[in-house]
C-alpha cells in the first residue's frame, strides 16, 4: 500500500490558538492516533518545536549559509506530520479531514515515493545504502 504524509501547516494565529487550547487538542490528537492504530494505517506522527528555534541552511550561493530562524517571508510553517499506510489518496484525504485542528490551519497531503520509483541505476534503498556505509549519524 502507498504511504501518505499529512503535513500540518499553521500560521502565527492558528499556532497561538493551538497553544491556547493545547490540553484539549492534545487529548483529541491522542484519540485520533488510537483510531489510526486500530485501523492499521498508522506509521508515525511527530510535532515540531517552535520555528523560532530553527536554523536554515541556504544553498543558493557557492557555499551553504546558516541563519537562525525560519524564512522571514513564510506565512505558513510546517508544524508536524502524520505518516499513514493507506490504499489511496482519497483514504488519506478522509483521514486528514479527521485530524484535530484549529481554525486557520491546513493539511497538505503528499504521497511518499516508494523504492520502486527510484532511478534505475541506483542500487538499494536509502536505508540499505546508509546501513552499508559508516555507522552513526550524519
Q: Residue 45 corresponds to which cell in the numbers above?
A: 506522527
User: Mean pLDDT for the chain?
Assistant: 84
pTM of the model: 0.76
**Exposure pattern of 11-38 as b/e (b: 16+ CB <10 Å)?**
beebbebbeeeeeebeeebeebeeebee
Cell 487538542 belongs to: 25
Where do the domains of the chain lie, and which CATH numbers do they carry?
3-114 (3.30.70.1060)
Rg (CA), the chain: 18
Residue 119: pLDDT above 70? no
Residue 12 vs residue 85, higher pLDDT: 85
pLDDT at 138: 46
Taking only the tens place, the pLDDT of each residue in 24-70 is: 989 999 999 999 999 999 999 998 887 778 888 989 999 999 988 77
Mean pLDDT of 81-96: 97
Amino acid at each position: 500500500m502507498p504511504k501518505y504524509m499529512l503535513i500540518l501547516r499553521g500560521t502565527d494565529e492558528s499556532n497561538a490558538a493551538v497553544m491556547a487550547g493545547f490540553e484539549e487538542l492534545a487529548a483529541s490528537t491522542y484519540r485520533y492516533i488510537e483510531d489510526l492504530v486500530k485501523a492499521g494505517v498508522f506509521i508515525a506522527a511527530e510535532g515540531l518545536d517552535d520555528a523560532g528555534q530553527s536554523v536554515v541552511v541556504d544553498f543558493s550561493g557557492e557555499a551553504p549559509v546558516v541563519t537562525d530562524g525560519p524564512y522571514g517571508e513564510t506565512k505558513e510553517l510546517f508544524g508536524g506530520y502524520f505518516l499513514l499506510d493507506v490504499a489511496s489518496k482519497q483514504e488519506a484525504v478522509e483521514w486528514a479531514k479527521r485530524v484535530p485542528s484549529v481554525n486557520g490551519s491546513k493539511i497538505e497531503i503528499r504521497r511518499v515515493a516508494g523504492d520502486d520509483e527510484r532511478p534505475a541505476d541506483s542500487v538499494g534503498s536509502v536505508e540499505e545504502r546508509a546501513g552499508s556505509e559508516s555507522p552513526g549519524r550524519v
